[in-house]
Amino acid sequence: MAQNRFQTHHGMKDILPGESEKWRYVEDIIKKTAREFHFSEIRTPVLEQTELIARGVGQLTDIVSKEMFTFERGEDNYVLRPECTAPVARAFVEHHLDQRGGVQKLFYIGPMFRAERPQKGRQRQFHQFGAELIGSSDPIADVEIIRFMMRIYEKIGLKNITLQLNSVGNPESRNNYREALQNYFRPHLNELSEVSQARFETNPMRILDSKEDEDQKWVADAPLITDYLSEECQSHYAEVKRLLNELGIPYTENPLLVRGLDYYTRTAFELTSTDLGSQDALGGGGRYDLLIEEVGGKPTPAVGFASGIERLMIACESLDIPLGENDFPDVYIITRGDKARNWAVKAIDQIRNTGISATMDYSGRSIKAQMKDANRQEATYAVIVGDSELETGLFTFRNMKESEEELLPFEKILQKLIHA
Ligand code: HAM
């Protein structure tokens, strides 16, 4: 009878040894940078109430209308979180984080889920790192978020990236703009793509985001949001740009930048890379001054970003940027006979207690097979022990790279390893 073979779900991937070291390296940089910027980690469950995401992200967005993994259990309706801003807003309100005083600076790393059509750089389970700064409407907060995001990419050494910047205004600016867009597109409605026609009434700003060829010539001459911003929104945007200039963070203004989530107000940004192919957004974010109230809290301004880790990995790979070192063992203990194996179990403990990584054979293989295994695992050193070594107290200490050996007491070997 044919055996069942199980596989990961379409668009979801296992992160295997060889790759997981790179993930850890990237995660360490994120955590270290968060420490430098004084952002504290928040971990929220992967399941949230569907209603929270629908209200937070927006009923009419692609994410909510087409891409949610939802579950029913009893009366409750859950969704695998497609992003983390609405969950963080929920946690902020639920735990009264405002009562801790001052602004809340939070960061997260974790899996998100969107039932999109998988392709390079687009998965159904993917990972984001992101940050949310809650409780300030000051442009300094917007720039702090952008600085934090950019600093991580700088540390990793990613090149060919562009920060695209826009302001999508407050609801009033946006209503005026929406009307102007509808007036502009109305005479050409029949010439627009089907997707854009559907967006005309519900969300005309998303027409600007269209990838369809037939829309491009109309989009090119469409009115720009920047001409419809209220005075406050204009001066907020001007201050964000001034501060970015001050910090020497390059950006490109893109008045057509509309994000795929509905909660944004004022600042919106996206970090794109030319090394990613069609899914070119490494990360994105912006200000969302109305979301906290939308999910049941007091009016609280906030700004944040999130970036895809898989896309970061793809960009690094195409630029040959190394992501940390492989986790080779420092020492492999090669044993001959039961007594030697017994000795090794204790010796390996002593080695590890000094912070050195060590491994050994776990299945009584021949010396030759163990040597081969030590080479395969790229161990830096091998310690070879059998009955005669145990009698004399002198063990073979082999430098695997140089193929050099010496006979030494265990204490001496330990000293050499510590000072290597
Ligand atoms: P987003 O633009 O939907 O924003 O996602 C941020 C990043 O997550 C994208 O730029 C991309 O790198 C990655 N990403 C999104 N979908 C996928 C996918 N299917 N496969 C692989 N990577 C993907 C947000 O999620 C907002 N919560 C950002 C934010 C935080 N705004 C304010 N605070």
pLDDT tens readout for residues 138-193: 999 999 999 999 999 999 999 899 999 999 999 999 999 999 999 999 999 999 99
Domain count, the chain: 2
Three-state SS annotation for the chain: CCCCCCCCCCCCCCCCCCCHHHHHHHHHHHHHHHHHHCCEECCCCCEEEHHHHHHHHCCCCHHHHHCCCEEEECCEEEEECCCCHHHHHHHHHHCCHHHHCCCEEEEEEEEEECCCCCECCECCEEEEEEEEEECCCCHHHHHHHHHHHHHHHHHHCCCCEEEEEEECCCHHHHHHHHHHHHHHHHHHHHHCCHHHHHHHHHCHHHHHHCCCHHHHHHHHCCCCHHHCCCHHHHHHHHHHHHHHHHHCCCCEECCCCCCCCCCCCCEEEEEEECCCCCCCEEEEEEECCCHHHHCCCCCCCEEEEEEEHHHHHHHHHHCCCCCCCCCCCCEEEEECCHHHHHHHHHHHHHHHHCCCCEEECCCCCCHHHHHHHHHHCCCCEEEEECHHHHHHCCEEEEECCCCEEEEECHHHHHHHHHCC
Q: Note whether 313 and 374 are same-domain residues.
A: no
User: Which structure tokens are listed for 8?
Assistant: 């990961």
Ligand 1 midpoint to CA 307 (Å): 6
Interstrand relation of 161-167 and 252-253 (parallel, antiparallel or unpaired): parallel
Share of the chain above pLDDT 70, in %: 99
Q: What is the pLDDT of residues 330-388, one digit of tens each?
A: 999 999 999 999 999 999 999 999 999 999 999 999 999 999 999 999 999 999 999 99
- Asked if the structure places residue 132 within a domain, the reply is yes
Bin 67: left if φ > 0, else alpha if -120 < ψ < 50, else beta: alpha
Residue in 125, 126, 165, 166 to alter for ligand 1 test, most ligand atoms within 8 A of Cβ: 126
CATH code of the domain covering residue 141: 3.30.930.10
Q: Note whether 151 and 285 are same-domain residues.
A: yes
- Asked if the structure places residue 187 within a domain, the reply is no
- Asked if the structure places residue 159 within a domain, the reply is yes
Q: Note whether 287 and 337 are same-domain residues.
A: no
Q: What is the pLDDT of residues 43-81, one digit of tens each?
A: 999 999 999 999 999 998 999 999 999 999 999 999 999
Ligand 1 midpoint to CA 177 (Å): 25
- Asked if the structure places residue 61 within a domain, the reply is yes
Ligand 1 midpoint to CA 302 (Å): 17
Point out the domain boundary residue: 266, 290, 318: 318
Which atom of ligand 1 is found nearest the CA of 130? 30
Residues in the ligand 1 pocket, defined by CB under 6 Å: 83-85, 114, 116, 121-123, 126, 128, 130, 132, 260-261, 281-286, 288, 304-308, 310-311
Which residue's CA is minimally distant from atom 21 of ligand 1? 122
- Asked if the structure places residue 220 within a domain, the reply is no
Which residue's CA is minimally distant from atom 1 of ligand 1? 284
Ligand 1 midpoint to CA 266 (Å): 18
- Asked if the structure places residue 113 within a domain, the reply is yes
Check residue 350 and give its pLDDT: 96
Which atom of ligand 1 is found nearest the CA of 312? 12
pLDDT (mean) for 282-298: 97
Ligand 1 midpoint to CA 44 (Å): 17
Which residue's CA is minimally distant from atom 31 of ligand 1? 285
Ligand 1 midpoint to CA 260 (Å): 9
Residue holding tokens 């420490």? 35
Q: Note whether 398 and 276 are same-domain residues.
A: no
- Asked if the structure places residue 186 within a domain, the reply is no
pLDDT (mean) for 308-314: 97
pTM for the structure as a whole: 0.92
Q: What's the pLDDT band for 210 if we cut at 50, 70, 90?
A: confident
Q: Note whether 337 and 307 are same-domain residues.
A: no
Q: Note whether 155 and 273 are same-domain residues.
A: yes
Rounded Cα distance between 292 and 284, Å, is: 19
Q: What's the pLDDT band for 2 if we cut at 50, 70, 90?
A: low
Ligand 1 midpoint to CA 419 (Å): 45
Ligand 1 midpoint to CA 83 (Å): 7
| Residue 343: domain span | 331-418
Check residue 206 and give its pLDDT: 87
Ligand 1 midpoint to CA 306 (Å): 6
Mean pLDDT of the chain: 95
Which residue's CA is minimally distant from atom 9 of ligand 1? 283
User: Which structure tokens are listed for 396?
Assistant: 């073979």
Q: Note whether 142 and 234 are same-domain residues.
A: yes
Q: Note whether 260 and 336 are same-domain residues.
A: no
3-state SS class at 379: coil
User: Which structure tokens are listed for 199?
Assistant: 């967006």
Q: Which residues are 218's β-sheet partners? A: none
Q: Does residue 28 register a pLDDT over 90?
A: yes
Which residue's CA is minimally distant from atom 33 of ligand 1? 304
Q: Note whether 90 and 60 are same-domain residues.
A: yes
Q: Note whether 104 and 243 are same-domain residues.
A: yes
Q: What's the pLDDT band for 324 if we cut at 50, 70, 90?
A: confident
Q: Note whether 310 and 360 are same-domain residues.
A: no
Q: Note whether 382 and 311 are same-domain residues.
A: no
Point out the domain boundary residue: 318, 348, 371: 318
Residue in 44, 57, 112 to alter for ligand 1 test, most ligand atoms within 8 A of Cβ: 112
- Of residues 413, 419, 280, 299, the one with CA closest to residue 351: 413
Which residue's CA is minimally distant from atom 14 of ligand 1? 308
- Asked if the structure places residue 223 within a domain, the reply is no
CA 58 to chain centre: 22
Which residue's CA is minimally distant from atom 17 of ligand 1? 122
Ligand 1 midpoint to CA 57 (Å): 12
Ligand 1 midpoint to CA 248 (Å): 25
Point out the domain boundary residue: 286, 318, 350: 318
CATH code of the domain covering residue 362: 3.40.50.800
Which atom of ligand 1 is found nearest the CA of 307? 7
Q: What is the pLDDT of residues 100-124, one digit of tens each?
A: 988 999 999 999 999 999 999 999 9
Share of the chain above pLDDT 90, in %: 91
Which residue's CA is minimally distant from atom 16 of ligand 1? 122
